Structures are given as C-alpha cells and as structure tokens.
Amino acid sequence: MALLVSSWSNGVQSVPKDYVMPPEKRAGDFIKISKEIPVINLQNDRSEVVQQILKACQEFGLFQVINHGVSDDMMADIMVLYNEFFNMPVEDKLGVYAEKSGKGCTLYTSGLDYAKEKVHYWKDTLKHGCHPLEEHTPSWPDKPTRYREEVGRYSIEVRKMGFKILDLIGEGLGLSKGHFQELGHDQAMVNNYYPLCPDPSLAMGIGSHTDPNLITFLQQDQYGLQLQKDGKWLGIEPIPNAFVVNLGYQLQIISNGKLRSAQHRVVTNSTAARTSIGTFFGPGQNYPALIEPAKELVTSSSPQMFKSYLLKEFMADYFACIQRPGSGTVLDSYRL
Ligand code: OGA
Ligand code: NI
C-alpha cells in the first residue's frame, strides 16, 4: 500500500528519482487543448452522426460524445465516487490492493508490474471486470458502501451507450447491425487517479500507448489526456458530461485498416489531481474464434491488411512489445 502514489505524494516538493522519466519519454513543451478533436452530439440526425463518427475514426481514432444516453447526474455522481475511493484512508483500500495488476479486481500503482519497472508512472489504478455483473461485483471494493450498486448501474448504462456507438461505427463501415455484439462482449473498468505532481516536466501519468482492446469510453475531470496525430500531440478537453471514445487495435484490424487506433498518453498536473474512469470493451482473453478483418471490408481494391489470430496470441505480443520499447508496434507482425 505504501507504494500507491496517493499514499505518499501529498506535499512532496520534488519528484523521486524512480519517477523521473528519461528525457525522450517526458511530456516536453506544454500542449494546449485542441479544438480539432470532434465532439459529436448523438442526438443529431442519425445519418449525420454516422458520417461524423466515421470521419473521426478515420482521421483521429478518437472523438468525444455528448447526449449519449448516460445521464449527467450519473456521470457526476460516479466521478464523486471515484474521487472518494482514491482519497479514502489506506486501511479502507486494503481489500483490493495488489502489488501488480492482476486478473480479478486490483488496486495497484504505476504500470502493470511495479517491481519490474525501472521508472514508474505517477498514477494509481483500480481495475476490474464488469460483465456479466453478478460474476464481478463480489470482487469489487465494498467501500464506499455504495460502490457496487452505483458502479453496477453505471456499467449497464455505459454498455448500452457502447453498443449504440459500435453500431454507429459498424453502419459507417457498411457492416451489418450487431457486428460487434460478440467482439465487444467483454467489459472492464480501468479507473486512474493521478495525484498532484510537483514537477510535470519530469513525471508522466501514463506513457504513450494504444489500447489493445476494441474500444474505450472514458470520463475525465481534469486536463491531462493527449492524442498523438501525425507526429504531434493534441490535448483533449475535459468535458464533464462527455465520454472520450478511443479506438483500440482490434477495431483498426477488424476494419481492415479503414479506421485508426488512438495513440495516447497522460501528462501530470501540478495544480489539480486528475481522475479518469475508463470502460473497455473487447473480445476477452479467452475469445475462442479467430479475429480478422471483416469479410465485407476485404475486396480486390482493398485487400486483407492483417492476418487472423487468436486474441491470446495478440495480447502476448502486445505485452512483449511494451517491454521492448523502440522495436515498433505490435501491429507490425500482424500486417500482411
Ligand atoms: C488507459 C488510459 C487514460 C486516462 O488506462 O489505457 O489511457 O485518462 N487512460 O487515464
Ligand atoms: Ni489507454
């Protein structure tokens, strides 16, 4: 528990040595919030929304949605809940604490395996599965006492929104309705807390990465998230009632490269702590079928771009790539 950044960082005047990133991994110059990144109103005309989402997925691999069906009250309440959770006294978090990210519900710090890292990230993370609910809720935190009830209701609403948006993406690509029903079946939450940092030029919240899943929906209360596009970093505006939607590797592959995945990172902040609430959809580690570009998107003028694979293999390669920085991306060995 002593390892959690939130348990020792309050009031520290400088960044400890093992949190100082090597220069090439630091945030660099301050990046402004970008007005380029689309904010899409899901209550607009459906065909217009389909086109806006398609364009955003092709150009950015990331967009924000408003009027998405999850109520403002629910979003505000859940943000309060997670702030409360991360700020609880250490004793109240012992039940879920783990020294590294694990399979069930775990509260851990920095990356997936603190002990193996040379340099750590300035964040704590609470991660757990969400679907089917009854399989997962018993492992969730029991404090704050409303956690299971409230996060359970939220997970159901985010799932409805998630599949609505996956259908809109499918429609834009010309796929049949429900194409992503199975591929998006698995649902997990990764909730991050980034305490105040005395020197954001040295420490990072989370390094540059692309999510390995299908699609991610994120709520955030402060600035810190950035997207890499054409070699430049763009800052993502925190909008309290919006979800940031970012595409993972699986969607890039299944769309046969028609959509891009989002390379992103989180910088630290010296004036405000930041909480993010992420819901990840994907095929799940034990997905039994081969994953490959949708047949409908493979034509003579658009040949198959990626080979087929089992998710298990892909994930093993993904983690191997993270451990060998500088050796390209996991997609390199999946391109045909
Ligand atoms: C992640 C991630 C962003 C954030 O957990 O994969 O990119 O804002 N999180 O915490
Ligand atoms: Ni991510």
All structural domains of the chain with their residue ranges: 5-300
Averaged in consecutive runs of 10 residues, what is the pLDDT profile of the chain (336 residues)? 88 97 96 97 98 98 98 98 96 94 94 93 98 97 98 98 98 95 95 98 97 98 98 97 98 98 98 98 94 97 97 94 81 96
Which residues, at least 6 apart from 270, have a Cβ–Cβ distance to it below 8 Å?
Answer: 196, 197, 198, 199, 200
Please report, to the nearest 10 degrees, the dihedral formed by the alpha carbons of residues 308, 167, 212, 298 taken in order.
Answer: 30
What pLDDT does 322 receive? 83
What is the whole-number distance in angstroms between the Cα of residue 266 and the centre of ligand 1? 7
Which residue is closest in CA terms to ligand 1's atom 4? 276
Tokens of 303: 């040949």
What is the whole-number distance in angstroms between the Cα of residue 301 and the centre of ligand 2? 32
Question: Under DSSP, is residue 314 helix (H, G, I), strand (E, B) or coil?
Answer: helix
Ligand at minimal distance from the CA of 206 is: 1
What pLDDT does 1 receive? 56
With the most atoms of ligand 1 within 8 angstroms of its CB, the residue from 126, 206, 210 to mutate is 206
What is the whole-number distance in angstroms between the Cα of residue 247 and the centre of ligand 2? 9
Spatial distance between the Cα atoms of 123 and 100, rounded to a whole number of angstroms: 13
What is the whole-number distance in angstroms between the Cα of residue 269 and the centre of ligand 1? 15
62-66, strands of its sheet edge to edge: 39-41, 62-66, 243-247, 215-220, 274-282, 186-194, 124-129, 106-109
What pLDDT does 31 receive? 96
What is the whole-number distance in angstroms between the Cα of residue 66 and the centre of ligand 2? 20
φ and ψ at 121, to 5 degrees? -90, 150
Determine contact, residues 280/190, Cβ cutoff 8 Å: yes
Ligand at minimal distance from the CA of 267 is: 1
Ligand at minimal distance from the CA of 236 is: 1
Tokens of 138: 């018993």
Atom of ligand 1 nearest to the CA of 205: 10
232-235, strands of its sheet edge to edge: 204-210, 263-267, 225-229, 232-235
Ligand at minimal distance from the CA of 210 is: 2
* Residue whose C-alpha is closest to residue 283's, from 292, 271, 272: 292
What is the whole-number distance in angstroms between the Cα of residue 299 and the centre of ligand 2? 31
What pLDDT does 2 receive? 65
What pLDDT does 22 receive? 96
What pLDDT does 140 receive? 98
What pLDDT does 326 receive? 72
With the most atoms of ligand 1 within 8 angstroms of its CB, the residue from 37, 123, 192, 268 to mutate is 192
What is the whole-number distance in angstroms between the Cα of residue 230 and the centre of ligand 2? 18
* Residue whose C-alpha is closest to residue 36's, from 71, 12, 62: 62
Q: Which fold has domain 5-300?
A: Jelly Rolls (2.60.120)
With the most atoms of ligand 1 within 8 angstroms of its CB, the residue from 218, 244, 261 to mutate is 218
What is the whole-number distance in angstroms between the Cα of residue 295 and the centre of ligand 1? 31
Ligand at minimal distance from the CA of 101 is: 1
Protein residues with CB under 6 Å of any ligand 1 atom: 190, 192, 206, 211, 218, 220, 225, 264, 266, 276, 278
Spatial distance between the Cα atoms of 250 and 213, rounded to a whole number of angstroms: 6
Atom of ligand 1 nearest to the CA of 265: 7
Atom of ligand 1 nearest to the CA of 211: 6
